[in-house]
Amino acid sequence: MSRWIKLASSAQVEAGKVKIFEASGRRIALCNSEGLFFAVQDVCSHDDGPLGEGRLCGQEIECPRHGARFDIRSGAATRMPAVVAIQVFKTKVQDGDVLVELEDEAVEA
């Protein structure tokens, strides 16, 4: 089972930018790609770098440490040195808020 949790207001992340938020004890990088919101884990699979401190390159997020890139839609590693995908979270915008879907075990009661 899963639940939708408010992560941020849609106005908090400008188009073409990434910002880090916390939901239920998880750091999540929220990406605004041309008005569409995507949420990914805030940890690079290559060396645990903070993806939310990187930059958005179209539909990819780039790790600030070594330049690894990931597709923000699927989590797939798209550029070395990363080869392992990252976790992505479903998002939806409701009444100006960006919600993310988290599994129940990740949601605090």
3-state secondary structure of 104: helix
What whole-number distance in Å separates Cα of residue 56 and Cα of residue 70? 10
> For the residues of 51-91, what is the DSSP string, one character each?
GGGSEEETTEEE-TTT--EEETTT--EEETT--S---EE-E
Q: How many CA atoms lie within 13 A of 86 on its CB side?
A: 35
pLDDT at 105: 64
Q: Give the CATH fold of the 2-104 domain.
A: Rieske Iron-sulfur Protein (2.102.10)
Contact 67, 77 (CB under 8 A): no
pLDDT at 104: 78
Return the domain boundaries, the chain: 2-104
3-state secondary structure of 41: strand
Q: Report mean pLDDT in 10-residue bins for the chain, 109 residues.
A: 96 98 96 98 97 97 98 99 98 98 69
The residue assigned the tokens 């392992």 is 84
CB atoms near residue 67 (< 10 Å): 14
